[in-house]
Chains A and B, each alone.
Chain A
């Protein structure tokens, strides 16, 4: 069974002057454990598609199922609960909570979303911080971390609830070459170790070179799907 099933998904925004068609009848399937990217120029609809899959927005028409749930029918409350249960997010600007340490940022979803007991939280967070290579930075606040370290914390936070799907919107856009390469490698390692599905929106060629499936979007339409050879 596919993790994501999208059929004729469209999204339009009505502005004062004109109606913008961000997505026009996009259909695709994503299997669990995939490492794939939506690529395309700015305004092609990548971020809109990620927002729809991430239950942050609703399609104007079409069918969209994530983890077997028709996400188009979820209420605000249900969507929030669904995100907390099934999804992890990695943002372009890291979006760490500035008043929390690296440890606490990773711990946050287990506390505020999953309400897990202390010992379980501690074990899980330390495992992940170790896995992303910043266990020694765990007591630092985001402002004391470099861009790469912040994104590692963000990845650990996205993975801490063991989600089925991690959505990463331009995760390397704010990173230098070396750091970006490390982050991509890290996410790939995480995917292999945890069998978590990673879905990117990007035009970073380094990511494009690493993913297994590339969906190309242009002007809100899916114009190509390319599968890399399994390594």
Chain B
């Protein structure tokens, strides 16, 4: 093998310019794929994290039929206290569940006593909510102090609404809502913070303490519209959701993952499809480059192949010789491409890319998973070998007598 490698390397050096050109082409392809995967992957991760960690949670549990009517925020499809106890027991039994937050959601009117508009409100228990959506605290751009945020009697006002109404921290506002019996009730609240917008539905909701929600909706016993659940890793979400469905199906509760609740999941799927096609393009680049250069190598060395065959080199060794050449080209291209790609990603990580998604602006710092790098490199190496098979096979099947006659 060492000698095969030595001969293969020397042959590649024999046509230095052509080898370098092929290596550059492959390296450029690998670099492009890695940058694309890093940028799109980081974008997907950023937005997904924003959505799940800011307000949605990894998955949500509702009474059956609630999600179908979620646009109207129905107050008559809540989970009862007994059902909530069952759900909480199920959540505790699953070790992958990190935190959960009970929410009462409703639509109402928001007034600063001068102007009135509609608002979507989440009544939450602050500690549970911040544990379930850890990035929510970071969205509070103005606050009097952290201890008071979301304490009973306070409200976190969405930034767009605050800007429009000129609402500031410390202002007194009133929230009015209709309960499930049809009666209207209101409560005066103090603005304890302004909440920056997040991407997606629910990203522009206001937040109050869950006890205030119970009071506004005049619930005789606390009911819950949804239970947001944080799973330790997004990769575990589907598995946890499945287990919860098994346990909660009979109770009449339904479980939806963040992908089922957020339209961004479709964008994420599109990104995956694009990544797949970009990888296909890389395969095509490697395949064509290596195939071309190896066909040329065989064509130019017909007499040489005849000579080594004549002096007794077995066909499989001739095959190996050309396969190793293709492999080396691919390995060199992959190595250079990975180094260049990681270098470019590092620069982009330092520089950071500005991204606007809906109302929200982000700074994207691309990173790439080691597995993605490994996949790209392995893909190139495997395709290089496959691309070399036909020319190598042709070389190994040459009749020495005809090859020796070749001019």
Could you tell me which A residues sit within 8 Å of B by CB distance?
51, 54, 56-57, 76-77, 80-85, 87-89, 91, 95, 97-100, 108-109, 111-113, 157-158, 161
Contact = CB atoms under 8 A, between A and B. Distances in A.
Interface stretch (B36-44, B308-316, B378-386): B308-316
B308 A97 contact: yes
B317 interface: yes
A113 B313 contact: yes
Contact of A57 (B10, B11, B314, B401): B401
A83 B308 contact: no
Interface of B: 3, 7, 10-11, 13-14, 303-304, 306-315, 317, 399-401, 404
Nearest to A94: B307
A56 B313 contact: no
A51 B399 CA distance: 12
A98 B313 contact: no
**Best-surrounded residue of A51, A80, A84, A113 (most CB of chain B within 10 A):** A80
A112 B313 contact: yes
Contacts of B7: 97, 99-100
B310 A97 contact: no
Contact of B311 (A51, A76, A113): A113
Contacts of A91: 307, 404
10 contacts: A54-B310, A84-B311, A95-B307, A95-B404, A97-B304, A97-B308, A99-B11, A108-B308, A108-B311, A109-B312
Given A77-B314, A113-B311, 7 more contacts: A83-B310, A84-B313, A97-B7, A97-B304, A97-B308, A113-B314, A157-B311
B401 A56 contact: yes
Nearest to B2: A111
Nearest to A51: B401
B312 A113 contact: yes
B299 to A, nearest CB: 16
B315 A85 contact: no
Contact of A99 (B10, B312, B400): B10
A96 B122 CA distance: 83
B311 A99 contact: no
A97 B312 contact: no
A164 to B, nearest CB: 13
Contact of A77 (B311, B315, B404): B315
Contacts of A89: 307, 310-311
A100 B311 contact: no
B401 A97 contact: no
B404 A56 contact: yes
Contact of A87 (B10, B312, B401): B312
Contacts of B3: 111-112
B317 A112 contact: yes
B396 to A, nearest CB: 10
A192 to B, nearest CB: 23
Contacts of B401: 51, 56-57
A99 B307 contact: no
Contact of B312 (A51, A76, A84, A95): A84
A155 to B, nearest CB: 13
Contacts of A113: 311-314
Given A95-B303, A112-B3, A56 B310 contact: yes
Nearest to B13: A99
A88 B307 CA distance: 11
